[in-house]
Structure 1
Amino acid sequence: MHGELQELGRAVKQVQYRQHRALDSALAAVGTTLAQWDALRAISRSPGASARELATATFQTEQAFGTLAGRLTAQGLVERRPGHGRRIEHHLTGAGADVLAAGHKVADAVLAECFAPLPAAERATLLDLLRRLTTHNDTR
């Protein structure tokens, strides 16, 4: 049994790895990386969020996200503002919103290609199964 589970785990990781490589390569054409675009996406979903919240949303450590946010700020894509107490809030600039929008177009095209072998019904089933696993693991 463990062989099948390990094979399943490896297959999920392999699909994720290929998808990330394809996204990172394509996002370079709009002047960003997958990590940067993902950070912009997280900030867009939660304007004013702290580095801790955004690190969790992007599957990074707080330190790694802080370094990334510093680069995005230096590029003029993100603005950091003082919040309550020592909290630093993160907001997209107009340029950041533009890069995010360009990234969405790129990601849509790349992901359409990545999932092209699956008909719409199978993609919906896969999404449902992955959401069930995520929900199950989040309740632990």
Structure 2
Amino acid sequence: MKDAMIRIRMSAGDAHYGGNLVDGAKMLQLFGDVATELLIRHDGDEGLFVGYDDVEFLAPVYAGDYIEAVGKIVKVGNSSRKMEFEARKVIKPRPDLNDSACDVLEEPIVVCKASGTCVVPKDKQRNK
């Protein structure tokens, strides 16, 4: 199964805490979008996210950061789909240089990892 990936810039509206820090829940929202794409590609249906088994927040995310969220299906049951996710910071702003300066990171910074389970009811599975 192929990975799915989205890349998005965190906006000032995503910042929830002082210092333009983004709430970790934003990474889970991105993982939810990745999971939906994976299910559509695998089953032809959006399915439902049942829950996360594990979530690790590994580095801070700030407004202006570009985050790449990737996921893959690692196990397929009758209706369940076990998935793994990773969010990486790939570009960060450089306000110390000027208001619009940014750096592309040579090595992405893993900011969050998670695993979880989604379900696609049998009667909604179209890609068999």
**Shorter-chain TM band:** under 0.3
Q: TM-score, normalised by structure 2?
A: 0.25
Q: TM-score, normalised by structure 1?
A: 0.24
Higher relative contact order (CA 8 A, sep 6+): 2
Instruction: Tell which structure's C-alpha radius of gyration is larger.
Output: 1
